[in-house]
Structure 1
């Protein structure tokens, strides 16, 4: 089982927002030392809790400080970009760091209506996502009428961040997939993975289907400690549902000292119940179950917490647990 890391460049109270980017580069360096297969960077725009709006820029910085680990986007949100521009950015990265670049692609729109307007997104626009994906792939395999540059010996490896309909799109275009979020809790996930593999059409992107599952993981000596590590991220998400603002990570003690609304309490409890959080044995069992259900070839950990030392410890524990 290969192990990879998705980093969201989470901001933290008490730290400048820019520090989140240097923290991400440091995490990439550590992930390479621990033997992780990939380091991926997320894309979010105008979100106070996330500093990375441009994965390509952050990956260029991570590449300058690493030498072996694969670098990728988790992902570039294609509705926000022109396919040719995305191809050029990642071909540049491939030229700088040969045979190390992945291009994870998603379709999430802006977090709020003002952000969607700033990104020139219109909900009334015709959905051209599948066509844009096909166009982007044509630039990477050089079958398009326009040649994206710079020319590289090998193109970046594309992936699709897929749920539901996305799995069908990935199968039709012959793309490997990264599956995460609520779909991993879906009782029909096994059938969806079977359908993806059955309907997969080999392409220039991949000769055969491949599945990476992505999830937050919190390891500690006790379940209570693990749940405490999970709290900053879960609380930020619960508050975002209530206020519309996804904020920085906060220390556990500060979160617990605040007055929570009943709605926030319910959301935190519900999310905590779904979290992969606990002792090494409990987490290992849960991950084995996920891998068995999905038939995944690789696990991508997307954990965030306020305590950076604890986060580094989780990364190290996961390397021991998954890769030995």
Structure 2
């Protein structure tokens, strides 16, 4: 009998033309509550900075808000970009989240900056951050700090000093390592942590990374077996034509990044369809479209299952990239909601 396939959600809190960040966040909170009702396994927020089309700058804040609006779904980060932050502060934030929603918090950690070089420097000038060259050490530090027993430092005087992310902890968030390179795959295997390859934006190299992770995995007490899942972009609608139209704003937005053009809020579907793409944009859009799940319910569900089987995973995390038409309310995202509804209906056992 085939094992059931689980679905989860990755949310960048997209911001479209004419939409405020407050409206974008409100739309994402509605989406999180919907995912909870539909039976999705987890709901993660990404960390990005200074991008007009992305409002997910502070995953811990969004996680707390989503946890308050949901009942059973796991909520977490996909991920916190650790070089931007002090390991102790990250541990404290997620220990507090675990206290707010016991047994429902995931801490996904990444090594990328989540923005450009200027913003990276601003982040590191404005507070204590971690050393990217010591990423593995800092991951291990956080894993110890969030546990009920905490961590123990040995001072230069020889005295031992106990450090806890929060007093009286009764549980700890689940830690996942995120990445799109051999480095992150090897580190996750070495530390005995679950690992997620960022297929939704970096499709190349996934086979090698997963092979390195699985063959090099060192069992840990919390995770005796390797665990990974697939992330992908998805736009699902009643017809293939509508799904493709709703995906077009995100496709064109990603093309702006890859072709080095000024960033802007996402276009509406109306604006994207009215635009005449230049050759470079058309080429990038066509290449990305081949890796995304775009289509009517049956074909989209079949593609999700095919990818899960190809990469040997029992969970798929979708980033719902279906855009909005100009007439649709700014405090909701009907296209993204419909994507989750249709996938749940055709993929989840109880959907």
TM-score, normalized by length of structure 2? 0.85
Map 1:161-180 to 2 at 5 A: 161-163=178-180, 164-180=182-198
Equivalent of residue 275 in structure 2, options 240, 253, 258: 258
Cα drift, residue 83 of structure 1? 0.8
Query: What is aligned with 2:336?
Result: 311
Q: Decide whether the 8 Å contact of 2:92 with 2:146 is kept in 1.
A: no
Please state if 1:211 is matched with 2:211.
no
- d(CA) in 2 for partners of 1:117 and 1:193? 32
Written as runs of structure 1 = structure 2, the 5 A alignment for 1:175-324 is 175-181=193-199, 185-186=203-204, 189-307=206-324, 308-324=333-349
State the distance in 2 between where 1:231 and 1:183 align. 16
1:206-226 per-residue CA deviation (whole Å, 9 max, x = no partner) reads 222111111011223333222
2: CA distance, partners of 1:274 / 1:69: 27
The superposition leaves residues 34-84 of structure 1 with CA deviations (integer Å, 9 ceiling, x where unpaired) of: 111111111111111111211101111111111211111010000111111
Change (3 A) 1:150 1:27: farther
Asked if 1 retains the 8 angstrom alpha-carbon contact of 2:47 and 2:114, the reply is no
CA distance in 2, matches of 1:231, 1:88: 39
Relative to structure 1, the CA distance from residue 287 to residue 61 in structure 2 (aligned partners, 3 Å threshold; closer, same or farther) is same
Aligned length: 320
- In structure 1, how many angstroms separate the alpha carbons of the residues matched to 2:250 and 2:285? 10
- Aligned: 1:128 with 2:146: no
Which region of structure 1 is more displaced relative to structure 2, 71-80 or 38-47?
A: 38-47
Task: Give the CA RMSD over aligned residues.
Answer: 2.0
Q: Indicate conservation of the 8 Å contact 1:190/1:293, yes or no.
A: no
| CA shift digits 1:193-235 (9 cap, x unpaired) | 2332222112254222111111011223333222112111110
Moved more, 24-33 or 203-212: 203-212
Q: 2:92 corresponds to which residue?
A: 88
Match of 2:63 among 59, 63, 68: 59
User: Unpaired runs of 5+ in structure 2?
Assistant: 126-130, 154-162, 325-332
* Structure 1 residue ranges without an equivalent (≥5): none
Please tell me whether residue 28 in structure 1 is matched to residue 32 in structure 2: yes
In structure 1, how many angstroms separate the alpha carbons of the residues matched to 2:348 and 2:53? 31
Larger mean Cα displacement after TM superposition, 219-228 or 104-113 = 219-228
Larger Rg, first or second structure (1 or 2): 2
Q: Is the 8 A contact 1:36 1:69 kept in 2?
A: yes
Q: Secondary structure at the match of 2:277?
A: coil
1:228-265 CA distance string (max 9 Å, x none): 12111110111123345443221122123234332112
Contact 1:92 1:150 in 2 (8 A): no
Q: TM-score, normalised by structure 1?
A: 0.92
Q: Partners in 1 of 2:132 and 2:49 — Cα distance?
A: 22
Q: Which moved more, 1:282-291 or 1:150-159?
A: 282-291
Most deviating of 24-33 and 141-150? 141-150
More helix by share: 1
* Counterpart Cα distance in 2 of 1:274 and 1:11: 23
Instruction: Provide the C-alpha distance between the structure 1 equivalents of 2:132 and 2:72, rounded to a whole number of angstroms.
Output: 41
The answer as to whether partners of 2:229 and 2:317 remain within 8 angstroms in 1 is yes
Q: Distance in 2 between matches of 1:257 and 1:85?
A: 46
Question: Structure 1's 151 and 47: CA in aligned 2 closer, same or farther, altered over 3 A?
Answer: farther
